[in-house]
Amino acid sequence: MTDLLALFVQQSVNGVYLGCLYVMVALGLTLIYGVLNQINFAHADFVTVGAFAALFTATRFATKVLGLPDTGAYLLSMVAALGTGALLGLAVNAAVFAPLRERGDELRPLIATIGVSVIIENGQLWLFGPIPYQFDSPFSRETIRVGRIFFSMQSALVVAVSAAAIAALYAFMKFTFLGKALRAVAQDRETAGLMGINPNLLIAITIVIASALAGVAGALLGPVLVLTPFAGASVIVKAFAIVIIGGFGNMQGTIIAGLLVGIIEAFTVQYLGSGLIDLVVFVLLLVMLVVRPTGLIAERKEENV
């Protein structure tokens, strides 16, 4: 393998992994937007809470109290993170989204979730302090090497779990009754209601699923991120960009957009400099919005006319 080819492949691998990282955060956002038409600005903070929940479950509870081996402890911590995320989602839905739903407002829930984000970040700051926490999973210190290409086992796990999550969600939406009902609510809430589906219940379920996803993302990303109460803030804006580049509410688009952003980021670092990442990604965003405002994969909604 020549040097240049190796470099190209390695950065591509880095990009795919980065992309999966963003996709894991963005997937829940897309889900919520698809069904509710709302942006949950606190979503990335759910990821951070999930990470902390996972950390404390793995290090304090699972190993010390239950005496589980490391891998078992980590798996348990993922479950804990999932549960924590679900609970948070339930709480925010009940407190913020449900009460504001009737107005069909686009802005007020956004501001309310900004307020929630501030509360969560500062609450964590008060509880956990600002010093970054060390979250080691059984996989985060191992490196996999294939020829001249390397990646950490944790990043492989991130890619694997995100792929599994996507596949599971896709199957759920397409083949189960609940999934079909959700898609019906996403397309036309009123008509769905007339057909005997309880939209409010389904929306609540969607938010819980999305937030649970965020929690699991936290468990996966905890060993990778710099784990402070502000970890969410470092990824939320890029996650938004991905949701839009992919097409609001469109899952396949989100995935493609996420991978695209990750690869662009890796190559921007290589040839331009990491200080320019945000610039390149958002210029791409604006270009997308001009050229193809409905996103990479045109959605059926014709809201933009």
Partner 1 sequence: MRVRIVSVLIAILVVAALPWLLQTPYWRGILVLCAMNVLLALSLNLVLGYTGQLNLGQSAFFAIGAYVSTILIKSYGWSFWLAALVAVGGAGLLGLALAAFAVRLRGHYLAIASLGFAVITYQVLINWENVTQGVRGIYGILPPVRSTIGLFYLVAGIAVLVYVLMDNLVRSPIGETLRAIREDEVSAASLGINAAVWKAFAFGLGAAIAGLAGCFYPGFVGTLVPEAFNIVESFTMLAMVIVGGMGTMIGPVIGAIVLTFLPEVLRDFGEFRLMIYGLALTLVVLFMPGGIVQAWRALTGRR
Partner 2 sequence: MKLALKTAVLAFALAALGAQAQERVIRIGVLMPISGPGSYFGVMGKEGIDLALEQLKGSVSGYRLQVQYEDSACSPLQATNTVKRVLEQLKPHIVIGEECSDASLAIAPILEQAKVVQLNAGSVTMKLTESGYKYVFRIFPNGEQQGLPLGRNAYTKLGARTAVLLYEKTNAGVDSADGFEKHFVAAGGKILARIDFGRDVNDFTAIATRIAALGKVDVLPTFGLEGQQVRLSQALAQARVVKGGGGNAVQMGSIWLPYGFDQKAGAAAEGYIRIVQFDPTEKRSIVQDFIKAFRAKYGADRVPTHINAHAYDTILLVAEAVRRGATDSESIRDRFSKFRDVEVTTGRISFGPNGQTTDLSVIHFIETQKDLTWKGLDW
Q: 18-77: which residues touch partner 1 (CB under 8 A)?
A: 33, 37, 39
Q: How far is the CB of 119 from partner 1 (least distance, A)?
A: 4
DSSP-H helix ranges across the chain: 3-36, 43-56, 70-92, 108-128, 153-175, 177-187, 189-194, 199-221, 233-246, 251-271, 277-291
The reply on whether position 141 binds partner 1 by CB under 8 A is no
Q: Given candidates 106, 132, 168, 195, which one binds partner 1 under the rule CB under 8 A?
A: 106
- Give the residue from 69, 74, 26, 72 showing the smallest Cα distance to 47: 26
Q: Given candidates 2, 65, 107, 130, which one binds partner 2 under the rule CB under 8 A?
A: 130
Cα 276 to Cα 120: distance, rounded to the nearest angstrom: 29
Residue 269 contacts which entry, partner 1, partner 2, none (Cβ below 5-8 A, type-dependent): partner 2
Point out which span in 8-16, 19-27, 117-125, 161-169 binds partner 1 (CB under 8 A).
117-125
Q: Given candidates 10, 59, 187, 200, which one binds partner 2 under the rule CB under 8 A?
A: 10
Phi/psi region, residue 250 (left: phi>0; alpha: psi -120 to 50; beta: rest), is beta
Q: Given candidates 105, 110, 152, 284, which one binds partner 2 under the rule CB under 8 A?
A: 152
What is 219-280 written as a DSSP string?
A: HHHTTTS-BSTTTTHHHHHHHHHHHHHH-TT-HHHHHHHHHHHHHHHHHHHHHT-GGGHHHH
Name, in order, each residue with C-beta under 8 angstroms of 269's C-beta and a sequence gap of 6 or more.
11, 277
**Which lies closer to partner 2 via its Cβ, residue 191 or residue 234?**
234
Q: How far is the CB of 219 from partner 1 (least distance, A)?
A: 25
Cα 241 to Cα 137: distance, rounded to the nearest angstrom: 29
Decide the pairing of beta strands 149-152 and 143-146: antiparallel
**Which lies closer to partner 1 via its Cβ, residue 58 or residue 269?**
269
Q: How far is CA 128 from CA 42, 77, 124, 184, in A?
A: 18, 18, 6, 42
**Which lies closer to partner 2 via its Cβ, residue 104 or residue 130?**
130
The reply on whether position 162 binds partner 2 by CB under 8 A is no
The reply on whether position 71 binds partner 2 by CB under 8 A is no
Residue 151 contacts which entry, partner 2, partner 1, none (Cβ below 5-8 A, type-dependent): partner 2
The reply on whether position 127 binds partner 1 by CB under 8 A is no
The reply on whether position 59 binds partner 2 by CB under 8 A is no
Decide: helix, strand or coil at residue 130.
Answer: coil
Q: 212-271: which residues touch partner 1 (CB under 8 A)?
A: 237, 240-241, 244, 248
The reply on whether position 186 binds partner 1 by CB under 8 A is no
What is 161-180 written as a DSSP string?
A: HHHHHHHHHHHHHHHSHHHH
The reply on whether position 11 binds partner 2 by CB under 8 A is yes
Name, in order, each residue with C-beta under 8 angstroms of 106's C-beta and a sequence gap of 6 or more.
37, 38
CA 175 to chain centre: 23
Summarize as ranges the residues that interact with partner 1 (CB under 8 A).
Answer: 33, 37, 39, 95-96, 99-100, 103, 105-108, 110-112, 114-119, 122-123, 125-126, 237, 240-241, 244, 248, 275-276, 278-279, 282-283, 285-286, 289-290, 293, 303-304
Contacts with partner 2 by CB under 8 A lie at 3, 7, 10-11, 14-15, 17-18, 21, 122, 125, 129-132, 134, 141, 143, 150-152, 155, 224-228, 230-231, 233-235, 265-266, 269-270, 273-275, 277-278
